[in-house]
Structure 1
């Protein structure tokens, strides 16, 4: 097979169907941009989850004077009850679960509130309203239930709270947003596949006389099909490159230059190294879908 001749036929087909080719490029561009954005969003969620899971703590809140739980019937936690909790945290039974413990007194918690919200809150909050807390880091963050079982209902302990409970709704919302992006991308990819197939069939119809002559002179189906497949692949490749460029610009300017400077609680963002993983994947998806849809369309046409 003469590659130069096949390539010339493919380029000729692209020129003849310029408007349809532009449509294929745009649909491929939009759909693959959504695919890449969804992949990067899932990477970002994984980075955030790994960061916070490693740092999230389990809080063992000790009883305050105004606590109403059954374990706080005697009022604020006594020194003996504080010591009992500490001894259990340091016990052999929890040595493989507890990685570290930090005790926060009521005065320290009070000062943190003032540092965070300002001295104006000094008239509304007292140290006694905050109480003492043991902040526990775990070897395996998934074993928070062990701490809950060990200290839940213990005298002097008001509540055991896992900080990850506050972050899970955020991760859930971001995951749902990722699924929505994937769904939109999937619909756009279907549209791109159908548009490529339609473009190839129209191109074949426009050249039906040439195809008939090629068949009469003994040209193989492979020789006839290859230029049409290349047309779809070329159009999809251009759309894939545009999608890759949009993703690079989005991460560089949108994430690194904008979000990183304005969102403080996220310390690990997707960067160009993650983009370098995503772009080959979306280019590969675009080329594969284009080749399959174009090949299927031209084979069906040749059987007519």
Structure 2
């Protein structure tokens, strides 16, 4: 088939079905944008997980004279108990470092973290007990510390940041799954719309197809214009979706959130370019397969 003839057929088909072609572009754009959001949400979760897991600590809060925990017995932790706890922690192979935080240091850190919150004025020195901050070599091994030191002499409570962060990452995973589910529905709609467009195009050009059969045109000669039409419109839809995702990461994350949370780790446009080829490959595969199945059924060539 001559390239000039093929280009003429494709252009003619797109002009005759411009409304359906635009619909395919828009539906493909929305479905791929949702899929891209889901994939980027997962990459953001992985990025933040790597960032935060390096900073996760297990906090062992020590007893004070006002502690209500039964283990404290209404007395503060002694110096001997503190030293014993530090020695035991440093002896564990899972422990990377141990830091002591006094009541004043805990108060200062709280005031800094919640400086813009009205609750900062309700906390006084001593309300947050002194603690041992334990940094682990592997944050997933927090149970080794919590199980061994929960209820130990001088220990009021053991708090692990991983439990809080795991809930946050779990929410992101559910959001990711929901976005991918919506994208799958929209992709199915796009495939159905492609099939409808092809059927309509084949009906409009039924006379031309009949003539091509009479002169001995091959099956691929007849099919190729329809396939290329779907590849073009679906590819355009993916291109628009990728453009939206690039704008989202650039202006929302790189120039928005990162200006507010300077110490956080966010995804960037490079992450969009990582998933973009797979999005193009997936949509183009759907377009080609949908075209082949629809043409086989309705053209009978």
Question: Normalization by structure 1: what TM-score?
Answer: 0.92
**1:270 equivalent in alignment to 2:270:** no
Unaligned runs of 5+ in 2: none
Q: 1:228 to 1:73 in 2, by over 3 A?
A: same
Check conservation: 1:99, 1:138, Cα contact below 8 A: yes
Deviation at 1:74, TM superposition (A): 5.1
- Does the 8 A contact of 1:64 with 1:130 survive in 2? no
**1:241 alignment partner in structure 2:** 239
1:55-66 to structure 2, matched below 5 A, reads: 55-66=55-66
Unaligned runs of 5+ in 1: none
Corresponding residue to 1:193 among 191, 198, 203? 191
Determine the structure 2 residue equivalent to 1:283: 280
Secondary structure (helix, strand or coil) at the match of 1:297 reads: helix
2:275 & 2:119 partners in 1: Cα distance?
Answer: 48
* DSSP 3-state at the match of 1:130: coil
Residue 107 of structure 1 corresponds to: 104
The separation in 1 between residues aligned to 2:27 and 2:158, in whole angstroms, is: 52
CA–CA separation in structure 2 for the residues paired with 1:245 and 1:121: 42
Give 1:134 deviation, angstroms: 0.5
Is 1:157 the counterpart of 2:155? The answer is yes
Mapping of residues 73-222 of structure 1, within 5 Å: 73=73, 75-91=75-91, 94=92, 96-117=93-114, 125-222=123-220
Give the whole-Å Cα distance in 1 for the aligned partners of 2:269 and 2:41. 14
* CA spacing shift, 1:79–1:297, aligned 2, 3 Å: same
Are residue 301 (structure 1) and residue 292 (structure 2) matched? no
Counterpart of 1:223 in structure 2 is 221
Between Structure 1 and Structure 2, how many residues are aligned?
A: 299
Give the secondary-structure state (helix, strand or coil) at the position aligned to 1:61: strand
Report the more deviating stretch, 160-169 or 224-233: 160-169
Q: Is the 8 A contact 1:64 1:129 kept in 2?
A: no
Cα distance between partner residues in 1 of 2:230 and 2:46: 35
Query: How much has 1:51 moved relative to structure 2?
Result: 0.8
CA distance in 1, matches of 2:182, 2:110: 44
Residue 47 of structure 1 contacts residue 268 of structure 1 at CA under 8 Å; is this kept in 2? yes
Q: Which moved more, 1:202-211 or 1:175-184?
A: 175-184
The match for 1:54 is: 54
Q: What is the CA–CA distance in structure 1 between the aligned matches of 2:234 and 2:125, rounded to whole Å?
A: 65
Once the 2 structures are TM-superposed, how far is the Cα of residue 126 of structure 1 from its aligned partner? 4.5
